[in-house]
Structure 1
Amino acid sequence: MQPGAEMEPLVRFSGVQKTYDGENLVVKDLNLTIHKGEFVTLLGPSGSGKTTCLMMLAGFEVPTSGDIFLGQQRLNTLPPHKRNIGMVFQNYALFPHMTVEENLLYPLKTRKMPKQLAREKVDRILSIIKLDDFAKRRPTQLSGGQQQRVALARALVFEPNLVLMDEPLGALDKQLREHMQLEIKHLHQQLGLTVVFVTHDQTEALTMSDRVAVFNDGVIQQIDSPQALYEYPANAFVAQFIGENNTLTGRVKTVDGDFCQVQFGEGLGTRASKSLTLNAGDPTQLSIRPERVRLNGASQSLPNRYRTTLHEFVYLGDHLRLRCELAGNDQFYVKVPVSELCPSLAVGDQIDIGWRDEDVRALNAV
């Protein structure tokens, strides 16, 4: 969202539920507000309810109960073509027999826009997406990335109140996908768009969004900024789904404000930041990111320090992931920049690892 932008509600889900068979709820009591100018991503595994929410907002599905509003207008029974919402799909959905120009003119013709004004809008959006020279080509004469930009332009050309994107980059290769992530983000900022984006790719969600709603089993587990989701996951599901994460099972011994003392493994302990609902005696799942774990000399001054065995090196170019064993977890990873790793380190070595109190989080046990 633009700095200083007003927090004006644009989309509101109020008590929305959806079932297809009358028994199992795909979406459960959804309450969500999206503000004008925001880029909000609905993130979650397959079957979590995120796409169903998008389809209800688009008008392709009807809520079983509850209400959906766009501004002051209740959308529940409003046909999709009357919602003034732009849609971008993974399969582009371009008309193959039309040129780029004709594809972009189509939504304007259906809205009975005067020809001269329609032409101006098409020329402007072609300039913005840098495809001025491709106006006369058909989709089959374009690359995947160019087709995706045309699909995006077609969703924007009639200046909708809202743009919905359903896994729009899923068909692209990694490098092009990353380029398009930034391109969409820049368009959002440049045009002041309100975007609701669906993906199961957590890196994509973190890269592009103002806020991310993490779905599981039809419920939003947490909605927050990308940084807050990563640094302060609300529960074990969010911690596991967002980024790489190490987990250790333990029990809360004492509570001290926002921190607690946790016992784990065979007589091991750590101080950790805690979720709001944990009390002394509760079981907990400790969460710590691999890049927050310090190795050997770097761990010497840390308050939480442990001896572990190195089982495996995983080389990833700019860094290495070291697989260790700690408190019965033989999938405990430490992420180390290549330049910081001691070259004499070998599989089977005993190594010291450690972390700061604030780098480990005690969450409710699953």
Structure 2
Amino acid sequence: MAEITDPFVRFQNVQKSYDGETLVVKNLQLDIAKGEFLTLLGPSGSGKTTCLMMLAGFESPTHGEIMLDGHPIHNVPPHKRGIGMVFQNYALFPHMTVTENVGYPLKVRGIGRNEMARRVDRALTMVELGHLGGRRPAQLSGGQQQRVALARALVFEPALVLLDEPLGALDKNLREQMQYELKHIHATLGVTMVYVTHDQTEALTMSDRIAVFDDGIIQQLDEPSTLYEEPSNAFVAQFIGENNRLLGTVESVDGTDCIVQTDNGDPIRALNVRTTGPGGRTLMSLRPERISINPNPGSMPNILPAEVLEVIYVGDHIRSRMSVCGRDDFIVKVPNWAGHVHLRRGEKVEIGWFASDCRALDA
């Protein structure tokens, strides 16, 4: 994990247990830079939401310390931490208008009427809802309610905004639209955002960095492109994006590469990322879009026979399920353009890939 000098948020040896025995978060060390958009990504029960709740003040660490702008916050109640919060269920007051909902954080802080009106107007303009200030939440769509919740979190100009699965209740198109709008608002305001989700696409689309959680531990913390292209272990490779998995035994190690004997006997040259050396078991990870169909002989170190089992038209690409190395769940993606390969069910082909695209990881 890259070191951040003078972090805005710091989790230092943080642990959390609800029953005194099982640790939901284990010795968390995490620094977040000022102005960063950091996403906590992982499956249910991985500890990501618990970390957010501890930062917000709704949960207390069992051990360790959380620092905000250089100061410990374990004795600071949630409403005095100056943190904006956006939830999946929006948590809007149904009896208040949009303007009253957005202005509520300013009202409890004793902001004057004129200044309150100015800030509310600015916040609603930012989320493109300036014309709906007089409506109540029940008169708004789900996407509009989400924008109101975001405006309310931003209206008092917090230095830190926490977002807990805020787009989970929206339909696909609206969710994608809100992803780009959140990214734009973050870039415009420069506010630090910590975002929790289990949606890989959301994380890859919006984040400066992503912390992938599993079993209360950060498995990898990196920029989206690094996380996708260079997963450091088998869990991250399987959780981020789609990949083909091939199990085998390491025969030899040759510099940065290794030769792996797959379980059905095919030798494969792969990038030696995280194996225990010759004789050790490994899981190889290979992205479907990195595979070539019928490559020129000798052009790639790995060229194997395959049988096309299924062909699916997906619009921008053709998705094919093949039988490869004794597995019937091997996926190949071919771009859909004028010169794309036409595949037919039952067809015998050869597929190939470079060693650098096939990562030999922990088994």
Quote the Cα distance in structure 2 between the aligned partners of 1:162 and 1:277. 40
Give 1:127 deviation, angstroms.
1.7
Q: Which runs of no fewer than 5 residues in structure 2 stay unpaired? A: none
Which of the numbers 190, 195, 198 marks the counterpart of 2:196? 198
Residues 176-222 of structure 1, C-alpha deviations (whole Å, 9 max, x = no match) = 00000000000000000100000000011000000000011111100
Deviation at 1:254, TM superposition (A): 2.4
* Pairs within 5 Å for 1:45-56: 45-56=43-54
In 2, Cα distance between the equivalents of 1:238 and 1:173? 26
- CA spacing shift, 1:300–1:141, aligned 2, 3 Å: farther
The aligned residue for residue 112 of structure 1 is: 110
Q: Is the 8 A contact 2:13 2:65 kept in 1?
A: yes
Per-residue deviation, 1:257:
3.1
- Residue 142 of structure 2 is matched in structure 1 by 144
- From 126, 146, 150, the equivalent of 2:124 is 126
Is the 8 Å Cα contact of residues 7 and 36 (structure 1) preserved in structure 2? no
For 1:10, give the aligned amino acid: F
| Partner AA of 2:308 in structure 1 | L
CA distance in 2, matches of 1:91, 1:298: 54
Asked if the contact 1:299/1:354 (under 8 Å) is kept, the reply is: no
Q: Check whether the contact 1:62–1:77 (CA below 8 A) recurs between aligned residues.
A: no
Q: Which residue identity is paired with 1:239?
A: A
User: Which AA in structure 1 matches 2:38?
Assistant: V
The amino acid across from 1:191 in the alignment is L
Runs of 4 or more, structure 1, over 6 Å off, are none
Alignment of 1:264-279 (within 5 A): 264-276=262-274, 278-279=276-277
1:145 shift after superposition: 1.1
Specify which of 335, 338, 349 is matched with residue 336 of structure 2.
Answer: 338
Aligned residues: 359
- How far apart are residue 321 of structure 1 and its match? 1.3
The DSSP-based 3-state class of the residue aligned with 2:205 is helix
CA distance in 1, matches of 2:298, 2:357: 16
Equivalent in 7, 29, 33 of residue 9 of structure 1: 7
- Compared with structure 1, are the counterparts of its residues 15 and 288 closer, same or farther at alpha carbon in structure 2 (3 Å cutoff)? same
**Partner Cα separation in structure 2 for residue 304 and residue 210 of structure 1:** 34
Separation in 2, partners of 1:292, 1:277: 22
Equivalent residues in 2 for 1:79-98 (5 A)?
79-98=77-96
Once residues 318 and 299 of structure 1 are traced to their aligned partners in structure 2, the CA distance between those partners, rounded to angstroms, is 28
Q: 2: distance between equivalents of 1:327 and 1:303?
A: 15
* CA distance 1:58–1:298, change in 2 (3 Å): farther
What is the Cα deviation at residue 341 of structure 1?
4.3
Residue 317 of structure 1 corresponds to which residue in structure 2? Answer: 315
Preserved CA contact (<8 Å) 1:254 1:280: yes
Amino acid at match of 2:74: N
**Which residue of structure 1 aligns with residue 305 of structure 2?**
307
State whether residues 245 and 287 of structure 1, in contact with CA within 8 Å, keep that contact through their aligned partners in structure 2: yes
Partner Cα distance (1:216, 1:135) in 2: 42
C-alpha RMSD over aligned residues: 1.6
- 1:229 alignment partner, one of 211, 227, 231: 227
Task: Tell me, yes or no, if the aligned pair for 2:15 and 2:61 is still in contact at 8 Å.
Answer: yes
SS of the aligned residue for 2:356 comes to helix
CA displacement at 1:7 relative to structure 2: 5.6
Counterparts of 2:134 and 2:297 in 1: how far apart (Å)?
62
Distance 1:118 1:258 in 2: 60
Deviation per CA, 1:24-75, whole angstroms, max 9, x where unpaired?
1111111100000100000000111110110011011111111111012211
Look up the equivalent residue of 2:325 and give its one-letter code: A
Number of the residue aligned with 1:3: none
Q: What corresponds to 2:287 in structure 1?
A: 289
Q: Relative to structure 1, is the Cα distance of residues 298 and 178 closer, same or farther in structure 2, using a 3 angstrom cutoff?
A: farther
Cα distance in 2 between the residues matched to 1:120 and 1:278: 62
TM superposition shift of 1:298: 6.4
How many angstroms apart in 2 are the aligned matches of 1:165 and 1:299? 51
TM-score, normalising length from structure 1?
0.94
State whether residues 248 and 286 of structure 1, in contact with CA within 8 Å, keep that contact through their aligned partners in structure 2. Answer: yes
Task: Give the letter for the 2:233 counterpart.
Answer: N
Which residue number corresponds to residue 247 of structure 1?
245
What secondary structure sits across from 1:106 in the alignment? helix
Amino acid at match of 1:147: Q
Deviation at 1:8? Answer: 4.1
Give the counterpart letter for 2:311 in structure 1.
F
Q: Distance in 2 between the 1:329 and 1:270 partners?
A: 15
Counterpart in 2 of 1:353? 351
Alignment partner, residue 20 of structure 1: 18
Partner SS for 1:9: coil
Instruction: Tell me the TM-score normalized by structure 2.
Output: 0.95
**Residues in 2 aligned to 1:248 and 1:85: alpha-carbon distance in whole angstroms:** 45
Q: 1:210 matched to which residue of 2? A: 208
